[in-house]
Amino acid sequence: MNLTVTRRSTEDSDFYVEWNLRMGPLRTQPNNSSQRMMMEILSWSLWKTRNKFIFDNVSTSVEEILASALKLQKETTELPCMATRISKKVMEEVHQWGSMKQHGVTLKYMMEFGSNPTDKNLLLSAQFLHIELPVRIARRSIELENLPCGLSQKPAVLKAHYTIVAFTFLLCCIYTNTNLVRDWYLDSFRDLRSFREIKDMSDEKEFTKIIKAIKVRHDNVVPTMALGVLQLKRIMNANTAIEDHTEIHEFLDRFFLSRIGIRMLIGQHLELHKTNPNPNCVGCIHTKMSPLDVTRNAIEDARAMCYREYGNAPEVTIYGDPDFTFPYVPSHLHHMVFELVKNSLRAVQERFVDDDRVAPPVRIIIADGIEDVTIKISDEGGGIPRSGLPKLFTYLYSTAKTNQLLDEDSDLGIANTVTMAGYGHGLPISRLYAKYFGGDLQILSMEGYGIV
């Protein structure tokens, strides 16, 4: 396994009453819970058709409903306003800002700009975020709103059927939680746009409090989305290949990559306000980060978790130059190494749990190249079958056993809740962290041996 890091409003309420009345008889009629869920989510996804699609015949098959859904979605281009408490004016503003161009910020620029956090620079940073954050947040809000209808143009009818179900159910799962992901984004957009023009340091201080609250508000986005994906996996057709649902994976990649960027921008601004910062840090960026030290910390955290889960943890050996440093974001590297080591520890522990032999250690090598820093993590956990490799970086796949998967009734209000396996988000999100600053994450497997 190689991890490379580069150096360098109102009308909707009537509908919901109608929807509840219509769906009343269906709640007890379908043969199983999966059919009931699919019927309900399809009626929800087609709400814009209003009276065109009513479940008068409760014996209608799921396949017929799906066919009707596809036909009606082809006739529908207008999108629903799913957050009824958001005014029409705000939604129009969301679409206006979502069409604007967002501006990328390089690691080098953040280091140069943040190296001298004077009042003038802090004011400029706040003014930039006041314009940039609404654009990024609006784009994500629009994507969450637009997903189901955009699928209607797919040529393969059968694939389109299941894709509609997949996207619609993913959104339903998210929106039926107490803290709704899209509402978080819309609330944050409204907070940013309602804030006055930033002219002086008094405005900057108040704005900093606003974006700090926004960062906290979005802490639970990943576990909430993970719950939606988990519920989606439970109703997907068993014969449908996970990797075929490219729309879902592409959306989640864009969504989470954007989230990393938003949190990086906010976190950088907040860190520049620290009164006694580390002299080697420029905001979130450590100018002399030791990958060896960060990796050791990640190993300790992963082994502690393995101990809690299994009562034991394989050893981890690490090789690298203790004096080597380079500028990077320690929290990003910690996240990636922690996820990868956690996976290796679980694989080795489960493979040797009933073996008289001592479990072999997980091996980590940190190589300092001219252009790249490469961290290689190897284990003897048995490897991954070739058929499983295309699924590794998808959000609908997990190597965990069924009974290890995240329980949909579990408490997702705790942002730091982590288990050894089950979310299916560890590898794809880790790769996004690597790619954010131009790196990559690759996996080489020898089935019957381990990750090399």
Active-site annotation, residues: 335, 339, 342-343
Q: Report the alpha-carbon distance of residue 134 to residue 266 in Å, rounded.
A: 12
What's 73-90 look like in SS3?
A: HHCCCCCCCCCCCCCHHH
User: Which token pair is 131?
Assistant: 């314009």
Q: Identify which of 260, 252, 13, 266 has the alpha carbon closest to the alpha carbon of residue 144.
A: 252
Helices assigned H by DSSP within 176-284: 181-194, 201-217, 221-235, 246-271
Residue-wise DSSP of 331-387: HHHHHHHHHHHHHHHHHHHHHHTT-SSPPPPEEEEEEE-SSEEEEEEE--S----GG
Q: Report the alpha-carbon distance of residue 26 to residue 48 in Å, rounded.
A: 20
User: Which token pair is 195?
Assistant: 């804030």
DSSP state for residue 391 in the 8-state scheme:
G
CA torsion 367-370-372-377 (nearest 10°) is -10
Q: Identify which of 78, 110, 50, 168 has the alpha carbon closest to the alpha carbon of residue 284.
A: 110
Q: Report the alpha-carbon distance of residue 331 to residue 39 in Å, rounded.
A: 43
Q: Is 85 exposed, middle or buried (0-12, 13-18, 19+ CB in 10 A)?
A: exposed
Contact 130, 198 (CB under 8 A): yes
Contacts of 5 (CB under 8 A, 6+ apart): 291, 328, 333, 372, 373, 374, 375, 434, 437, 439
Q: Report the alpha-carbon distance of residue 43 to residue 39 in Å, rounded.
A: 6
Contacts of 228 (CB under 8 A, 6+ apart): 169, 170, 171, 172, 173, 174
Residues in the chain: 452
DSSP state for residue 155 in the 8-state scheme:
S
Residue type, 26: L
